[in-house]
Structure 1
Amino acid sequence: MRAKLLPTLVAMSCASIASHAAVTDRMLQGSPGNGAEVLTWGLGTQGQRFSPLKQVNTTNVKQLAPAWAFSFGGEKQRGQESQPVVHNGKMFVTASYSRLFALDAATGKKLWKYEHRLPEGIMPCCDVVNRGAALYDNLVIFSTLDAQLVALNQETGDVEWKEKIDDYAAGYSSTAAPIIAGGLVLTGVSGGEFGVVGRVEARDAKTGRLVWSRPTVEGHMGYTYDAEGNAKENGVSGTTNRSWPGDLWKTGGAATWLGGTYDPQTGLAYFGTGNPAPWNSHLRKGDNLYSCSTVAIDVKTGKIVWHYQNTPNDGWDFDGVNEFVTFDLGGRRVGGKADRNGFFYVNDARTGQLLNAFPFVRKITWASGIDLKTGRPNFIPENRPGDPTSAPEGKGKPVVSAPSFLGGKNQMPMAYSPDTHLFYVPANEWAMEIWNEPIAYKKGAAYLGAGFTIKTVQDDHIGALRAIDPKAGKIVWEVKNGAPLWGGVLATGGNLVFWGTPEGYLKAADARTGKVVWEFQTGSGVVAPPLTWMHKGEQYVSVVSGWGGAVPLWGGDVAKKVNYLEQGGMVWVFKLPTAQR
């Protein structure tokens, strides 16, 4: 009898272990509260990038020391913008050229590696980066530069499913970390500089089956899909030609290339949308919805519940993709967004109502402010690039505009601390000379209609980590940086803020005062967000190091200023010595 029961008991035990290891929606929503694991981009689906862990704090952080480091190896260095995820003792980290590594989170030992086979002719706008993976069930899911979505077995690295997002030959790619909401994996698309049509898609996270798709350019149809993959119309996004006269909406951009956030309190996913295409705004009169906007989508239906447009009729490539981070303010659920255009916005997370908007950079020339009643910017007309059709040389009047199209903040995610009630924003002060040129759409070709040169504004710094009070609308403190900041931020219950610099440093500051209390040289520029977790009673802090991204490719005078920086590809992990815990 005992011999007969043994296989059953073993099977039950294995099933229990597998169940414990499988990532569920409840775990995804609960993980930010205890900080033991990092199960999603943003440390929680709301994107606050706050961990309650306080073993490492302002008193002992100066003792923080390397625990291990891992090299991505090979010649595929380039920009490393990934935020790893950590679960069940394993770290899953993506790297440039659509690679994913599984590592032992305590020792750095490589468990397995997946290298996606990329075709010739991929057209990523802003380096061959990848920003991270999503975890669900026994899967680790990430997107690729040739616009595919790949789900791997967490234990073995075997491909469980693979789905095509879109045609890379038409300019589509994918670089964002997916997020999970209600068992659905939510993704956007990259390629706004190639005249793609932005959208958000939802797939069954276990199988990859497409559930719904929602275009983010007005005039395009949304769809839902049944179990056999049959499509059913789910309403046009907006009203055709209401804000896009003519036919340019058909190749209208508004790419959702940074991915989104999700708040279970509202049931909404929030995706930022990129620039309208082409950059030349004189070709597309009107607001050009839903470009340069925050779009709130009901994850169950795929329908747009509300939108807020940060830069109507964008003429500066300000995008609007930056993350919408939800938090509580005065008993109200709201969201904060530090936009590329230089203004910080606070919107009601349920309705989109604008509650506050104020500059988080020192110099803004395209608008004098945001009208809180109408929600619209007060444009400065003479600082819009000129119409090339009215210029005899075929080049519109150039203007010097601040911030540059690289933004007051770009892809590097900010953090919010519920302890201090402050946002920590990696900001940049730079300008650009920009002018419009004639352009026509051609599939797979760059679709700008503009020329530009990035300029410095200050002699002593470009970047500045800034603590922002979203209620008062002011900068509380800042830490200046010579090179532009291009990596994200982490806030912790230990009253610390961590961030990296292109000069190679991972730094920590007192979250209330901004006093820098620790730094470590990683050997290459940091353009990725830090993270922290707890394992067997020890708090770990980690960041991916590897210089690259958009700045050295598009940065003009700024790129020349930082051309001495070396590329790399390393994961660094730190913890306190035993005596300091």
Structure 2
Amino acid sequence: MLGLLSLPAFASDELTKLMQDDAQWAHPRKDFANTGYSRLNQINQSNVKSLKLAWTFATGVNRGHEGAPLVVGDTMYIHTAFPNNVYALDLNDNQKIKWAYFPKQDPAVQALLCCDNVSRGLGYGDGKIFLQQNDGMLVALDAKSGEKVWDVAVVNTQEGASTTNAPHIVKDKVITGCSGGEYGVRCYLSAYNIKDGKLAWRAYSTGPDSEVLIGKDFNKENPHYSALSLYEDVNGGNKQGGSFKALTKQQLKYPESELGVKTWLKPQARKDGWQNGGGATWGWYSYDPALNLLYYGSGNPGTWNPDVRPGDNKWSMTIFARDVDTGMARWGYQMTPHDEWDYDGMNEVILWDAKGKKLASHFDRNGFAYTFDRTNGTLLVAEKMRPFVNWATSIDLKSGVPNKDPKFSTHQDYNAQGICPSALGVKDEQPAAFSPKTGLFYVPLNHVCMTYEPVESKYVAGQPWVGSTLTMFAGPEGVMGGFMAWDGLKGKSVWYNKEKFSAWGGVLATSTNLVFYGTLDRWFKALDARTGKELWKFQVGSGVVGNAITYSHKGKQYVGVLSGIGGWAGVAMNLGMTNDTDGLGAAGGYKELVKFNAAPGGGAMNVFSL
């Protein structure tokens, strides 16, 4: 039996009721489980070819428009790229603007946004719309009037930190994250009280257990996840020609405490490395009400030069499950120990049930797709999404440790070539969807490889601290992207379509076995969820990096998506960069985008109906 996450009834929880009403889209990914799935069925396989453009709304803002609007009642709430304007549109009156909110942000903040001026959306709860501005301000707005109710500073931009995530509302809290791994920011996840914006808890990705919120019951079913070191050095480890051999579960030393400190060493940073440890939390967060656990991933370790931070660099690159009331970590599994390639681990975690098990699946930048028992973190599946993934040959399910291929290790002043995937990952932030009808995941993919040369880079507060030069190019299948259906229990692709460019739009799945997503060359597509056959497409005004949604208004189903090219794939184009290494390698890899897009991309909401 495959199914959606079951939700217990919270009589006072308005958001839970809204998420169960498929006429609305009240959560960034439709529901707590991050499925991107709707039971609406008016638009189906026999009539989808008749979809027509119903209306559009130009946001008046350029650059990457990631995320999705919210639909609550008769109002659609739309966000923009920097300066993160918010519009409330009246669906009863030709999308007339009910109210608008225009943040006053320092334009200098834009320089901190490594991968374009993006915002990933809004949150709704307690009669409020929540906006996480790029400058770190979390703002609560009255959903009816747009008046500011409260605001709070989440990060310090003077250190190079910024914020790009959508706030997620869980129970009586607003959950929000932190960006800045490329500035040596020590990132965290924060929970604020929904009523007044007071900080309830904060969990760091690196550092002492007391600050990572790790207690005595952490990883109790899988204590080997808390091992001091997962590898033995080969030929010197952290130097040119060196590599790392995975230890077996029997060879691991566990459980250890204070791993967020002990697994960091650092010549080119200040202090001990973990103080500038990265571990950004700018993705999507899921929640299981029955377990009261929040799930999310942490990003890359600070500085992309791995030689200057020997050790596994915990707890960067980690899937965490935390008690939402206290923030205490229930379990944590590090996917890419001692990351050598910028394989940010913060992609969404999707919750689902199958064969009597409570599961969580995650499609990581490192090219592996994982399925866990979400109650305790036991790793059940870890398989390559595409055969071209080469930095590791496999992942040992018993130990959880990747078996790295030494040919693709990266070292200071050495130009490692042919690494697959690139730092963009086989999938970046563009969220996958899950259909309980087919039991499959629908995953937008990057098909990009790279050269990677770490260089010396001293840490300076508030300044970029990348320490690596990249070039990117199409993978061995000769295209830049793809789109697939994935079996999360078997760990294999069911069908796969090539795309000319990375599929950077988040996915919508519906009960009529339709899947919608957008592409960088301006197409918005509908596929047959069972076969992958293309059933409909429409070309919008700019490449799509937004996430498809559906809602119903006055008995009519609509499907929509934000367009406005950008994100990492489009940032170089938006800024007119042309050197292959510009945009952290995106300029060279995606130079053909200018044949399909005006730059910078203009933001718009595109809505379709029968």
Q: Find the counterpart in structure 2 of residue 83 from structure 1.
A: 68
Question: Is 1:112 aligned to residue 99 of structure 2?
Answer: yes
82, 85, 88: which one pairs with 1:99? 85
Q: Secondary structure at the match of 1:102?
A: strand
Match of 1:206, SS state, is: coil
Match of residue 378 from structure 2: 353
Q: 1:376 aligns with which of 393, 401, 409?
A: 401
The equivalent residue for 1:542 is 560
Pair 152,365 (structure 1): closer, same or farther in 2 beyond 3 Å: same
Deviates more, 1:374-383 or 1:213-222: 213-222
Kindly indicate whether the alpha-carbon contact (under 8 Å) linking 1:78 and 1:568 is maintained by their aligned counterparts in 2: yes
The residue identity in structure 2 corresponding to 1:244 is W
The alpha-carbon deviation at position 223 of structure 1 amounts to 9.2
Does the 8 Å contact 1:218/1:288 carry over to 2? no
Aligned AA (1:568): G
Distance in 2 (CA, whole Å) between partners of 1:223 and 1:409 is: 27
Match of 1:440 in 2: 458
Q: Is the 8 A contact 2:204 2:212 kept in 1?
A: no
What amino acid is aligned across from residue 438 of structure 2 in structure 1? T
What is the DSSP-based 3-state SS (H/G/I as helix, E as strand, rest coil) of the residue aligned with 1:72? Answer: strand
In the alignment, residue 89 of structure 1 is paired with which amino acid?
D
Q: 1:134-213 alignment to 2 at 5 Å? A: 134-213=123-202
- Residue 238 of structure 1: how far off its partner (Å): 4.0
User: Which residue among 297, 306, 309 is the counterpart of 2:322?
Assistant: 297
Q: How many Å separate the matches in 1 of 2:393 and 2:12?
A: 43
Do 2:121 and 2:166's aligned partners in 1 also have CA atoms closer than 8 Å?
yes
Cα deviation per residue 1:512-566 (whole Å; 9 max; x = unaligned)? 1111111111111110110011222111111111111111333132221212322
Aligned residues between the structures: 534
Task: Check whether the contact 1:25–1:181 (CA below 8 A) recurs between aligned residues.
Answer: no
CA contact (8 A) 2:544 2:564 kept: yes
Quote how far apart the aligned CAs of 1:148 are: 0.9
**AA matched with 2:173:** L
Indicate yes or no: 2:282 matched with 1:257: yes
**How far apart are 1:423 and its partner, in Å?**
0.3
Percent of matched pairs sharing the same residue: 38
Residue 117 of structure 2 corresponds to 128
Q: Is the 8 A contact 2:371 2:379 kept in 1?
A: yes
Q: Tell me if structure 1 keeps the 8 A contact 2:388–2:476.
A: no
Once residues 312 and 362 of structure 2 are traced to their aligned partners in structure 1, the CA distance between those partners, rounded to angstroms, is 20
Instruction: Answer whether contact 1:212 1:223 (CA < 8 A) is retained.
Output: no
* Cα distance in structure 1, aligned partners of 2:550 and 2:588: 35
- Cα distance in 2 for partners of 1:217, 1:399 equals 30
Indicate the SS of the match to 1:569: strand
1:192–1:255: 8 Å Cα contact kept in structure 2? yes
Distance 1:296 1:483, change over 3 A: same
**Worse-matched range after superposition: 34-43 or 450-459:** 450-459
- 2:577 is the alignment partner of 1:556: no
- The alpha-carbon deviation at position 59 of structure 1 amounts to 1.0
Q: Are 2:589 and 1:569 equivalent residues in the alignment?
A: no
2:191 counterpart letter in structure 1? A
Q: Which runs of 5+ in 1 are unaligned?
A: 1-22, 225-235, 389-394, 577-581
Question: Which amino acid in the other structure matches residue 505 of structure 1?
Answer: W
Write the distance in 2 (CA, Å) between the matches of 1:221 and 1:528.
37
1:35 match: 22
Q: 1:572 is aligned with what amino acid?
A: N
Q: Does 1:244 align with 2:255?
A: no
Closer, same or farther: CA 427–25 of 1 in aligned 2, 3 Å: farther
Q: What TM-score, normalized by structure 2, do the two folds share?
A: 0.85
**Alpha-carbon displacement from aligned partner over 1:89-119 (angstroms, at most 9, x marks no partner):** 0011110111111112353222221111111
User: Shift of the alpha carbon at 1:237?
Assistant: 8.9
**Residue aligning to 2:419:** 401
Selected match of 1:267 from 292, 301, 306: 292
Task: Name the CA distance, whole Å, in 1 between partners of 2:329 and 2:417.
Answer: 35
Q: Deviations over 1:130-162 (max 9, x none)?
A: 111111112100101111101111111111111
SS of equivalent residue, structure 1 residue 461: coil
> What do the CA deviations read for 1:20-72 (whole angstroms, capped 9, x no partner)?
xxx98633334444312111111001100000111111011111112211111
Q: 1:484 to 1:189 in 2, by over 3 A?
A: same
Q: What's the CA shift string for 1:375-411, capped at 9, x where partnerless?
A: 110101221112x3xxxxxx23433210000110001
Do the aligned residues in 1 keep the contact of 2:19 with 2:27 (CA within 8 Å)?
A: no
Q: Which amino acid aligns with 2:37?
A: F
Separation in structure 1 between the aligned mates of residue 18 and residue 107 of structure 2, nearest angstrom:
40
User: What is the match of residue 32 of structure 2?
Assistant: 45
Change (3 A) 1:546 1:88: same
CA distance in structure 2 between the partners assigned to 1:197 and 1:511 by the alignment: 40
Alpha-carbon shift at residue 220 of structure 1 (Å)? 6.5
**d(CA) in 2 for partners of 1:420, 1:251:** 43
Please, which of 403, 411, 431 is the counterpart of residue 449 of structure 2?
A: 431
Structure 1 residue 66 and structure 2 residue 91: aligned? no
In the alignment, does 2:511 pair up with 1:493? yes
Quick one: distance in 2 between partners of 1:338 and 1:519? 26
Is residue 527–residue 549 contact of structure 1 (8 Å, CA) maintained in 2? Answer: yes
Name the counterpart of 2:500. 482
Q: Secondary structure at the match of 1:121?
A: helix
Cα offset for 1:287?
Answer: 1.1
Q: Separation in 1 of the partners of 2:68 and 2:91? A: 14
Q: Which residue matches 1:472?
A: 490
The separation in 1 between residues aligned to 2:315 and 2:523, in whole angstroms, is 38
Correspondence 1:324 to 2:352: no
Aligned residue identity for 1:556:
A
Is the partner of 1:562 in helix, strand or coil?
helix
Give SS of 1:68's match: strand
User: What displacement does 1:278 show?
Assistant: 1.1
Q: Which amino acid aligns with 1:475?
A: S
Tell me which residue corresponds to 2:205.
216
User: Could you give the per-residue CA deviations for residues 420-463 of structure 1, whole angstroms, max 9, x where no partner exists?
Assistant: 00000001111010011112211011111111111112465211
Distance 2:165 2:12 in 1: 20
2:437 aligns to what? 419
Question: Alpha-carbon deviation of 1:262?
Answer: 1.3
CA distance in 1, matches of 2:90, 2:562: 15
Tell whether the 8 Å contact from 1:191 to 1:257 is kept in structure 2 after alignment: no
Query: Could you tell me how far apart the structure 2 residues matched to 1:31 and 1:333 are?
Result: 23
Contact 2:471 2:589 in 1 (8 A): no
- Relative to structure 1, is the Cα distance of residues 312 and 240 closer, same or farther in structure 2, using a 3 angstrom cutoff? closer
Query: Structure 1 residues 177, 147: closer, same or farther in 2, change over 3 A?
Result: same
Change (3 A) 1:25 1:254: farther
| SS of the residue 1:480 aligns to | strand
Distance 2:96 2:498 in 1: 36
Q: 3-state DSSP class of the match of 1:294? A: strand
Of 346, 362, 366, 1:341 maps to 366
CA–CA separation in structure 2 for the residues paired with 1:294 and 1:238: 17
1:483 positional shift = 1.3
- 1-structure distance, mates of 2:41, 2:258: 46
**Is the CA contact 1:361–1:427 (under 8 Å) kept in the aligned structure 2?**
no
Q: What is the DSSP-based 3-state SS (H/G/I as helix, E as strand, rest coil) of the residue aligned with 2:590?
A: helix
Partner SS for 1:506: strand
Contact 1:178 1:186 survives alignment (8 Å): yes
Greater shift in the superposed pair: 30-39 or 164-173: 30-39
TM superposition score normalised by structure 1: 0.89
Residue 361 to residue 151, structure 1, CA distance change in 2 (3 Å)? same
Q: Quick check: 1:62–1:517 contact (8 Å CA) kept in 2?
A: yes
